[in-house]
Chain A
Amino acid sequence: MDDLRNKKVLLVTTDGRVVVGILKGFDAQTNLILSKASERAFSTDSFREIPQGLHVVRGDTIAIIGEIDEEKDDAIDWQAVRADPITSIRI
């Protein structure tokens, strides 16, 4: 994950949440520190972006983490997006 340091990343958690932020740190267990974090809460009738500030995320709650294509991200009108929330990880 070295190449993601200080990049804007998007995280999908095991409980189906989507969080964006800047990856400031991580360890071998994929525990993370995100700055300027915000949660993107999707539903079929609304979209909300919830600012979270500086966030520490425990590694075992992470499903996916990836670099955001900022051009692509900026081109999307997130306020207009409607979707079911991502389902939780089930063993």
Chain B
Amino acid sequence: TYSLQLFYSFFKTLVGQPVVVELKNDMLIQGTLVSVDQYLNIKLDGVRVEDERKYPHVASLKNSFIRGSVVRYVHIPATAVDTALLQDAARKESQQPK
């Protein structure tokens, strides 16, 4: 079940899953989700940049902490999420009187 701080809680359910984080500078970083915090900063283990030829700059990175503010998308396996449940929770949260 999802509650307040909806996406923080949602990402916590994905710990251990392989994800691809797309940054606002167009880099795509693959890795296993280790943790997420309230700012949606993301920690990944076993990182690999998708276009290794274009990005030799980060070839020696083992793991990465990605600042939430620079994330454009987090690509996740379709099987990792109950979309209906998430949609429902998001709808409920958006209807909360503020």
Indicate if B92 sits at the interface (CB-CB under 8 A): no
- The size class of the interface chain B forms with chain A is 20 to 34
**A16→B25 contact, CB < 8 A:** yes
Could you give, for residues 52-67 of chain B, a 1 whenever the CB lies within 8 Å of some chain A CB and a 0 otherwise?
Answer: 0011111111111111
Whole-angstrom distance between the Cβ of B33 and the nearest chain A Cβ: 14
Interface of A is mostly: mixed
The size of the chain A interface, using a CB distance under 8 A, is 33
Scan residues 24-74 of chain B and give those whose CB is less than 8 A from a CB of chain A.
Answer: 24-27, 29, 41, 47, 54-67, 69-70
Interface of B is mostly: mixed
**A66→B64 contact, CB < 8 A:** yes
**B57→A69 contact, CB < 8 A:** no
Scan residues 39-91 of chain A and give those whose CB is less than 8 A from a CB of chain B.
Answer: 40, 42, 59-60, 62-70, 72-73, 76, 81, 83-84, 86-91
Chain B residues packing against A (C-beta within 8 Å):
23-27, 29, 41, 47, 54-67, 69-70
Other 10 A-B pairs with CB < 8 A, given A84-B54, A86-B27: A12-B57, A18-B57, A30-B41, A64-B70, A66-B47, A66-B64, A68-B61, A89-B23, A90-B24, A90-B25
